[in-house]
């Protein structure tokens, strides 16, 4: 745990991963704590915005018949289909007016667990001069995990907002193992309280 307040600047970015209806209670790939994650992430986004940091939100944006869907031989039920209500952000995820949306998973054949895959997130962060990224959202054991691992691999100083994530836990303990993998790759963990000025 960070243990003290983080001093945020315009070189910092919050990356909110896939806090969408289909990944929250009532959706086909629901994370049980999705509603709470949306509310917590709203508070984190406000803290970042108030301190001049940047806020990005990734959005799974699959075409119908995407390769990750069971009907196409993939592992998941249809989810986050472009233009559907399920693909919309959770209604309690309130983002600052100047946030940026990163759509991913447009390519029919690319699963795009990571916010950096099949998107221009890396280019946009680098163009904005971002050096530190803070990641939270859904789900810990899939899209958050892969986004954090890619952020570390690319070379960003990377933090996991540990109280603004939730796991699918297809296999019991997947979420905890994902956190261990992220920390093992070099990510540090912080909480909402660490980001509030």
Would you state the structure tokens that stand for residue 145, as one six-digit string?
């995990």
- CATH of residue 115's domain is 3.40.50.850
In a domain, 38, yes or no: yes
* H-helix segments, the chain: 34-50, 121-127, 145-154, 174-184, 192-195
In a domain, 7, yes or no: no
User: What is the domain extent for residue 178?
Assistant: 12-195
In a domain, 92, yes or no: yes
In the prediction, which pLDDT does 4 show?
62
In the prediction, which pLDDT does 171 show?
93
In a domain, 161, yes or no: yes
Please indicate whether residue 12 is annotated as part of the active site. Answer: no
Residue of 160, 26, 1 whose CA lies nearest to 86? 26
Q: How many domains does the chain have?
A: 1
* Catalytic position from the list 22, 60, 143, 150: 143
Please indicate whether residue 188 is annotated as part of the active site. Answer: no
In the prediction, which pLDDT does 196 show?
76
Please indicate whether residue 18 is annotated as part of the active site. Answer: yes
* Catalytic position from the list 12, 18, 118, 194: 18
In a domain, 2, yes or no: no
> For helices 174-184 and 145-154, what crossing angle results, to 10°?
10
**pTM exceeds 0.85 for this model:** yes
In a domain, 4, yes or no: no
Give per-10-residue mean pLDDT for the chain (197 aa).
Answer: 73 98 96 97 95 97 95 94 97 95 93 94 97 98 98 98 95 96 97 83
* Catalytic position from the list 104, 118, 150, 194: 104
Backbone torsion region of residue 118, taken as left when φ is above 0, otherwise alpha when ψ lies between -120 and 50, otherwise beta: left
In a domain, 5, yes or no: no
């Amino acid at each position: 745990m960070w243990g003290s307040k983080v001093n945020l600047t315009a070189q910092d970015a919050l990356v909110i991963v896939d806090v969408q209806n289909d990944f929250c209670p009532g959706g086909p790939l629901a994370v049980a704590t999705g509603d709470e994650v949306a509310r917590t992430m709203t508070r984190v986004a406000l803290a970042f915005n108030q301190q001049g940091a940047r806020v990005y939100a990734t959005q799974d944006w699959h075409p119908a018949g995407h390769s990750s869907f069971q009907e196409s031989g993939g592992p998941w039920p249809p989810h986050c289909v472009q233009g559907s209500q399920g693909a919309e952000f959770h209604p309690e995820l309130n983002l600052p007016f100047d946030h940026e949306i990163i759509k991913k998973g447009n390519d029919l054949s690319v699963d795009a667990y990571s916010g950096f895959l099949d998107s221009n997130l890396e280019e946009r962060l680098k163009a904005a001069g971002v050096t530190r990224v803070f990641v939270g959202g859904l789900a810990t054991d899939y899209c958050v995990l892969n986004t954090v691992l890619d952020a570390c691999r690319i070379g960003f100083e990377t933090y996991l907002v540990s109280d603004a994530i939730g796991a699918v836990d297809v296999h019991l303990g997947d979420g905890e193992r994902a956190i261990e993998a992220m920390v093992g790759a070099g990510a540090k963990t912080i909480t909402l309280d660490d980001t509030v000025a």
